[in-house]
Structure 1
Amino acid sequence: MVVSSQRIQMRRIIAAASLFAIAGASLLSMTASVEAARITNPVAVFSGIDKITGRITTFDVYIGETVQFGALQVTPRVCYSRDDTEAPKTDTFVEVDEITLDRKIRRIFTGWMFADSPGLNAVEHPVYDVWLNSCKAKSDLPPPDSAAKQ
């Protein structure tokens, strides 16, 4: 009787280990599919507000390009989004510099911005605020290389 209960105990342990192995494999495959769904985009779309005039401007910036918004220079380094089957998660790594009154350039922000949480890492400046709207594959504006050739 003792031998039989030990065998039953051993079978339960083996069955539990098998379930953990299957669950672990499923988790790994789900993680791989989430990483595969990330899309690298060539254009980041920002919005900025001029607090003096109250005007909000939306502007496209190609990755690696620097665009000036008021006294700020915005340079996105990457812009990631997800495909249509995933929950929208759009983020960019961006550097923002300020041109001071004595014409010096001072870095005021380096980091990640998230379109679904614009207040989390938006650039807050005494006169200008800038935040990420979205990423996209194409822009109506020509890329920086083709603009220089014209």
Structure 2
Amino acid sequence: MIVRDVVSTVGTDRHASGKGWDSKRLIVASDGVGFSVHDTTVPEGSEIEMEYKHHIEANYCFEGLGEVVDLATGKTYEIKPGSIYVLDKHDRHILRAIKGDLRLVCVFNPALAGGETHRADGSFAPASNSTTQG
């Protein structure tokens, strides 16, 4: 059984951040369960363009108001508490936090190692060689 809280990740290799986001990785690859779970905050006013080329990501919103834009179609979806969106086709997208900090529970498959940050193209490195990226 794994029991962990967000506070225990702060200041460890499970706590990663970048421009417009802060992520506390509660479950990571070394936990051996095949996925990772993150408590992620996107501060109000942030806009981030991303494309997870090597991961599938599900995002459940539990605080704040925002939107996600599918860059392939141009369609914009409202994100609010109780919403989930899944990047099941490695979708290139823009995430915006519009009112209040956007708080998300994020699940990645394959699991992240813990310290990854977005590469210049908005992705994380493939799981087989995931390392902290600047």
Q: Same fold (TM over 0.5)?
A: no
Larger Rg: 1
TM-score with structure 1 length normalisation?
0.29
Say which structure is richer in strand.
Answer: 2
